[in-house]
Amino acid sequence: MAQRVVSIGSRSGLHARPAATFVQAASQASLPVTIAVDGKPPVAADSMLGVMTLGAGYGDQVTLTADGDRAEAVLEELAALLSKELDA
């Protein structure tokens, strides 16, 4: 099982457009990925509603988890996306 911890790079937080961009990328991944905020149960990364209700703000740390062949590579890509400013 692979995991990545990353800080949210979008100043508006993981809301609206940044969340939509992330969810879209996660839905295209070759294996299921979950995302969690400290102390809360993880949600499916391809669920817009799940991701929005995490309420992750700018600078907050989130944990991405996936299991499978290409898990490392997939998480690498999604983590890089989350660390960028997506509200543009």
Point out the residues that are catalytic.
15
CB atoms within 10 A of CB 78: 21
For 84, the token pair is: 């960028």
Within 20-79, the residues that bind another protein by CB under 8 A are 20, 23-24, 27, 44, 46-50, 52-53, 55, 58-59
CB of 77 to another protein, least distance (A): 18
Strand order, beta sheet including 61-66: 2-7, 61-66, 33-37, 43-44
Of 6, 14, 19, 56, which one interacts with another protein (CB under 8 A)?
Answer: 19
Strand ranges in the chain using DSSP code E only, listed in sequence order? 2-7, 33-37, 43-44, 61-66
Closer Cβ to another protein, 5 or 59, answer by number: 59
Residues that bind another protein (CB under 8 A): 11, 15-17, 19-20, 23-24, 27, 44, 46-50, 52-53, 55, 58-59, 84-85, 88
